[in-house]
Amino acid sequence: MTSFLSLKIRFPYIFNSINKITPENENKHKPQSTCHIVCKDTWCNNNNRRHVIASGGVSILAFNYGLPLAWAENEQEEKDESLVGAFKSLFDPNEKTKSGKVLPKAYLNSAREVVKTLRESLNEDPNDMAKFRRTADAAKASIREYLGSWRGEKTVINEESYVVIVKAIRALASFYSKAGPSAPLPESVKSEIMSNLDTADKFL
């Protein structure tokens, strides 16, 4: 449109001066087309517009995809740290208890097994002899292993869990030594042992 207007304005000058143009001044009076100027300006504007759009697109992409990428990297770092922590925990001989103390992992596993199997044995129906005997044997095995490994051990002898577990074992052994191995366990003795096991569990 600009090109057309520019040419239209020059028409009177061309027609009025056409008789005065000679070969010598032909080039002098020859009108210069502004089309290439307009086209060049238009091309520059279009290029600038494309540059702005492209720059904006890059900025939008950087904003839209940069943040998720950063989050993904943070998540990966957290996963790596958790894996390192898991490996360290796997080979660490100690473990933190529910009460916050750090004790030998082997002791804690042994003590937890005693609490678990002795509870199951006490809660088992004595009328179902097969299950009762199976749970009783499991409790005897865990108690034997616990006492064989940790009885009198200085690292745990003063721990609350050790004290109450030994107390529960002694109450059970005392009853059966007096009443015989086949005597039914009174509710009072059972309640005392279960209370000691619950206390031990809080410190494991």
Strands (DSSP E) contained in 27-178 are 94-96, 102-104
Q: What is the pLDDT of residue 8?
A: 42
pTM of the model: 0.58
Q: Tell me if 106 sits within 8 A of 93, measured CB to CB.
A: yes
pLDDT attached to residue 34: 43
**Would you give the distance in Å from CA 47 to the centre of its chain?**
47
CB–CB of 105/197 below 8 Å? no
Give the SS3 label for residue 93. Answer: coil
Cβ-contact 163, 112 below 8 angstroms:
no
Phi then psi dihedrals of residue 102, to 5 deg: -105, 120
Residues 83, 88, 94: CA angle, nearest 5 degrees? 140
Give how far Cα 19 sits from Cα of 7, 8, 33, 54, Å: 19, 20, 21, 53
Instruction: Give whole-number Cα distances, 96 to 100, 101, 109, 138, in Å.
Output: 6, 5, 12, 26
What type of residue is 75?
E
- Rounded Cα–Cα distance for residues 108 and 98 (Å): 11
Tokens representing 199 are 């206390």
pLDDT computed for residue 127 by the predictor: 85
Residue 18: what pLDDT? 38
Mean pLDDT by 10 residues, the chain (204 residues): 41 41 46 42 47 46 52 63 58 87 95 97 89 93 96 94 97 94 91 97 96
Q: What is the pLDDT of residue 162?
A: 97
User: Which residues does 120 contact at the CB level (< 8 Å), separation at least 6?
Assistant: 135, 138, 139
What is the total residue count of the chain? 204
